[in-house]
Amino acid sequence: MIDEAAGLIDSTTVRLKRCRHGMMMYPLRDPHVGPSFDRYG
C-alpha cells in the first residue's frame, strides 16, 4: 500500500504525487503548488 502523503517519485527537482484528480507532477521549489498538493491532495 502506498502512503498517500508520500510522493511516489522524489528527486531533487520534481515530485510525482497521487492527488484527488489523478497523478500530478510539480517542481519542489514551487512555494504554492507543492504545499497545496501535500495539504489538500
What is the tens place of the pLDDT at every residue in 1-41?
445 555 556 567 888 888 888 888 888 888 898 888 888 87
Residue with cell 517519485: 9
Q: Which amino acid is at 2?
A: I
- Going across the sheet that includes 14-19, the strands are 9-10, 14-19, 22-27
Please report the pLDDT score of residue 1 as a whole number: 42
pTM confidence score: 0.57
Residue with cell 500500500: 1
Please report the pLDDT score of residue 11 as a whole number: 67
Neighbours of 37 (CB within 10 A): 19
Residue with cell 498538493: 37
